[in-house]
Amino acid sequence: MKHIDQVSLAQSENLLNIISKLQLAVAASRMGVWEYDEATQSVHWDDRMLEIYGITDGKNQRPDDFWERHIHPDDIEAMTAYAEECRRENKDFNHDYRIVREDGSVRHIRSLARNVSTPGEKSKLVGVNIDVTEDYLRAEELKKAQTQLKHDARHDVLTGLGNRRALDEVTQDAFDVMAATDRYCLMLLDLDYFKEVNDELGHLAGDFVLKTVARILVDVVGTSGTVFRIGGDEFATFFPVAPPEGDIVALCETLIEQVKAPIPFQGEDCFIGASIGFAFGKGPPKTASRIFSDADTALYEAKRNGRSGYCAYSSDLTQRPACVTNTRRDLLNALSNDAFICHYQPQFDAKTLEIIGAEALVRWQCPQRGLLPPAAFLPEATDLNLVIDIDERVLELVASQQDDWHLESLPFPTVSVNTSAERLRDPDFTQKVDKVLRPHHKIAFELLETAFLDDIDDVTRANLDALRARGIRIDLDDFGSGHSSVTALQTVKPHQAKIDRSLVRPIETNPRQIMTLQALCRIARLASAKTVIEGLESGLMLAAIRSVDCDALQGYALERPAPASDFAALLRRAAQTSV
Ligand code: C2E
Ligand code: MG
Ligand code: MG
């Protein structure tokens, strides 16, 4: 007997132990617990339940319709129907809904409940409520940001017009539904003397000119076509139903006249001009790029005939000469002749302004055309599938540069190399990286065009994991530009997100833009990513972003991209001052 007592005592002590642990777990989880007993018609809410619903009278026994009275009017019908369904089918209740607290505020609740009665008994329900309002707000914020980014991906921030990507989509949509006899027209407009305005009067004047031209184009074109800004000073207008050629000619003349008129900006007159080329097409083209190259040929002809003119495409026009485009042979030669080099642009700690990294930016030392920036050859290298080769070369260059610094015992920071998302789809990617990198190398990969990583495939995922396993940092480039989406924050889980230049530039003229930057930093932080603000061009911009809570800064105002020797000199100076 004594033995049995000891056992039951030990069991009940054990039970008490478990119960107190459970109570602790419930308290820590901030869950509210309730119970309903049909037999006694009583409802018991614990203190946390009362707290969640904003009830301050401290009464734990509540009337049995108490819960329903607090459900948000828009959710009540669905929730009572769902509760009834759970009761009928004897299944667990598991749903989110909104409540209106005693003070009138609305909260999102996650509710789980189970029938714990034994068969034949009146029902006994036990449930928990968790306040998940913060999760909902976060999800809403992400959704809003995603919608905004989707919009930004297709729009030019400065003029609000559709961008090149939008033009590609609009033309493709039109081609998809076009009959063989339908005629359409594409008009390209390129500004003359725009560079002079930018150089002489500054980029604020340049921006103003671009906005003015955008307005003129939209006014003159009206509803017959859609206007896009497809490059620095290049605009396109697509007419899905081609107006008669005479109307297009009249439109070109009006545009050229209006753009030629002086544009007053801060007491100065800006003088620019416009050259226009246009081409007609009939029926869906074999390749969408055909109409672009025809309109471009016409534009080139207009420019050749003197500026501020227009020209229609015809098959006897000469194509833009090959010397300004790069052929596959030129690029392959450049690869085999070591004509690609890297410039390094330092990145600074936002608080201490210490150098904490650098970005390697590729340049082509072209024997005919001098030192070329990426914009002069990467688009064609992409079309010719040579970007991956260039990216691999850049990684080799940076690794070999770091070998030198290592030998010299020069302390150097992590250097980021840009990489197209496509490169990550290469199953041999990690093997190639392993061939180049040694333990003393400090490399990060900056992923471009991550908008295409929304649906990450197995090879990409394996490559990203392999990089992480090797301690290689992964960053998202151009975050917020539309080339890089919020979704990528979740799929790629980057170490840091670099906020795109196009979003940084407007802070000089539009103080509200700071809020966008702040929001982007917050979104990145929600995904545990650090943030870099790039493109800080002026002291004014540097001052403006002081209030943004970001981690690192990059831009001309701090340091321009420079050859490796200049960057090493900077590192040496930094090393000396820190001694
Ligand atoms: P990115 O990766 O966003 O690089 C930053 C670009 O912004 C660089 O232009 C840099 O010179 C420029 N920049 C930095 N600070 C400022 C500033 O304050 N004001 C202005 N206006 N610009 C600033 P860069 O070198 O012409 O490179 C352009 C783009 O070419 C890069 O943009 C990147 O997308 C691509 N790129 C560069 N190197 C490589 C590479 O090795 N591989 C690949 N796939 N792409 C590369
Ligand atoms: Mg980059
Ligand atoms: Mg960038």
Mean pLDDT over each residue of the chain, to the nearest integer: 88
What's the pLDDT score for residue 109? 95
What's the pLDDT score for residue 323? 47
| Bigger pLDDT: 41 vs 572 | 572
**pLDDT (average), residues 493-522:** 89
Atom 29 of ligand 1 has which residue's CA nearest to it? 374
Token pair, residue 343, equals 């410039």
Global pTM value: 0.57
Q: Which atom of ligand 1 is nearest to the CA of 534?
A: 15
The reply to whether ligand 1 has any atom less than 6 angstroms from the CB of 496 is no
Residue of 195, 449, 479, 501 to mutate, ligand 1, most atoms within 8 A of C-beta: 501
**pLDDT (average), residues 78-91:** 92
The reply to whether ligand 1 has any atom less than 6 angstroms from the CB of 42 is no
Atom 8 of ligand 1 has which residue's CA nearest to it? 361
CA 24 / ligand 3 centre spacing (Å): 48
- Beta-carbon contacts of 255 under 8 Å, excluding residues fewer than 6 positions away, are 189, 216, 217, 220, 274, 276
Lowest mean pLDDT segment, chosen from 262-276, 312-326, 528-542: 312-326
As a whole-number percent, the residues of the chain with pLDDT over 90 amount to: 58
CA 412 / ligand 3 centre spacing (Å): 22
Token pair, residue 442, equals 């400090």
Residue with tokens 């300004």: 324
294: nearest Cα among 281, 309, 313, 276: 313
The reply to whether ligand 1 has any atom less than 6 angstroms from the CB of 477 is yes
Q: Which ligand is nearest to the CA of 500?
A: 3
- CA dist 131 → 69, 83, 86, 527 (Å): 17, 19, 22, 21
**pLDDT (average), residues 83-108:** 93
510: nearest Cα among 467, 540, 468: 540
Task: Specify whether the CB–CB gap between 100 and 70 falls below 8 A.
Answer: yes
- Beta-carbon contacts of 192 under 8 Å, excluding residues fewer than 6 positions away, are 272, 273, 274, 275, 303, 307, 308
Atom 37 of ligand 1 has which residue's CA nearest to it? 361
**pLDDT (average), residues 123-137:** 91
What does the pLDDT look like over 389-401, one tens digit per residue?
Answer: 999 999 999 999 9
Lowest mean pLDDT segment, chosen from 3-12, 51-60, 236-245, 283-292: 3-12
What's the pLDDT score for residue 322? 46
The reply to whether ligand 1 has any atom less than 6 angstroms from the CB of 198 is no
Query: Phi then psi for 264, rounded to 5 degrees?
Result: -75, 130
The reply to whether ligand 1 has any atom less than 6 angstroms from the CB of 221 is no
Atom 41 of ligand 1 has which residue's CA nearest to it? 362
The reply to whether ligand 1 has any atom less than 6 angstroms from the CB of 535 is yes
| Bigger pLDDT: 316 vs 571 | 571
What's the pLDDT score for residue 100? 96
Atom 22 of ligand 1 has which residue's CA nearest to it? 535
What does the pLDDT look like over 308-360, one tens digit per residue?
Answer: 889 999 887 766 554 445 677 788 889 988 999 999 999 999 999 999 999 99
Cα separation, 354 vs 558, whole angstroms: 11
**pLDDT (average), residues 18-29:** 69
- CA dist 350 → 107, 409, 478 (Å): 37, 26, 18
- Length, in residues, of the chain: 579
Cα separation, 341 vs 177, whole angstroms: 46
| Bigger pLDDT: 143 vs 94 | 94
Cα separation, 323 vs 185, whole angstroms: 28
The reply to whether ligand 1 has any atom less than 6 angstroms from the CB of 361 is yes
Q: Which ligand is nearest to the CA of 499?
A: 3
The reply to whether ligand 1 has any atom less than 6 angstroms from the CB of 555 is yes
The reply to whether ligand 1 has any atom less than 6 angstroms from the CB of 556 is yes
Task: Specify whether the CB–CB gap between 109 and 132 falls below 8 A.
Answer: yes
pLDDT at 9 over 80: no
Cα separation, 464 vs 461, whole angstroms: 5
What's the pLDDT score for residue 6? 63
What's the pLDDT score for residue 105? 95
Q: Which atom of ligand 1 is nearest to the CA of 554?
A: 15
The reply to whether ligand 1 has any atom less than 6 angstroms from the CB of 374 is yes
What's the pLDDT score for residue 190? 93
The reply to whether ligand 1 has any atom less than 6 angstroms from the CB of 416 is no
495: nearest Cα among 477, 478, 474: 474
The reply to whether ligand 1 has any atom less than 6 angstroms from the CB of 397 is no
Ion ligand 3 neighbours, Cβ < 5 Å: 477-478
Q: Which atom of ligand 1 is nearest to the CA of 343?
A: 25
Cα separation, 556 vs 77, whole angstroms: 59
156: nearest Cα among 230, 213, 234, 259: 230
What does the pLDDT look like over 282-294, one tens digit per residue?
Answer: 999 887 778 988 8
Residue of 390, 392, 418 to mutate, ligand 1, most atoms within 8 A of C-beta: 418
Task: Specify whether the CB–CB gap between 499 and 520 falls below 8 A.
Answer: yes
As a whole-number percent, the residues of the chain with pLDDT over 70 amount to: 92
The reply to whether ligand 1 has any atom less than 6 angstroms from the CB of 537 is yes
What does the pLDDT look like over 422-432, one tens digit per residue?
Answer: 788 889 999 99
54: nearest Cα among 100, 109, 96: 100
Q: Which of 124-128, 342-346, 452-456, 462-466 has the highest mean pLDDT?
A: 342-346
Token pair, residue 557, equals 């105002």
Question: How confident is residue 488, by pLDDT bands cut at 50, 70 and 90?
Answer: confident
pLDDT at 451 over 70: no
What's the pLDDT score for residue 64? 83
Long-range contacts (CB closer than 8 Å, 24 or more residues apart) made by 486-489: 486/142, 486/145, 486/146, 486/149, 486/523, 487/146, 487/453, 487/454, 488/447, 488/450, 488/451, 488/453, 488/454, 489/523, 489/524, 489/527, 489/529
What's the pLDDT score for residue 405? 96
Q: Which of 182-191, 372-381, 514-523, 570-579 has the highest mean pLDDT?
A: 182-191
pLDDT at 8 over 80: no
Strand arrangement, sheet containing 273-282: 226-231, 234-239, 183-192, 273-282, 310-312
**pLDDT (average), residues 33-45:** 90
Cα separation, 112 vs 93, whole angstroms: 5
**pLDDT (average), residues 164-178:** 92
- Beta-carbon contacts of 407 under 8 Å, excluding residues fewer than 6 positions away, are none
Pairing of strands 414-420, 355-366: parallel
**pLDDT (average), residues 507-515:** 85
Task: Specify whether the CB–CB gap between 293 and 186 falls below 8 A.
Answer: no
In SS3 terms, 94-117 reads as EEEEEEECCCCCEEEEEEEEEECC
Q: Which ligand is nearest to the CA of 419?
A: 1
The reply to whether ligand 1 has any atom less than 6 angstroms from the CB of 373 is yes
Q: Which ligand is nearest to the CA of 374?
A: 1
Q: Which atom of ligand 1 is nearest to the CA of 500?
A: 3
**pLDDT (average), residues 490-494:** 86
Q: Which atom of ligand 1 is nearest to the CA of 361?
A: 38
What's the pLDDT score for residue 379? 76
Cα separation, 565 vs 346, whole angstroms: 13
Atom 34 of ligand 1 has which residue's CA nearest to it? 448
Atom 16 of ligand 1 has which residue's CA nearest to it? 535
The reply to whether ligand 1 has any atom less than 6 angstroms from the CB of 362 is yes
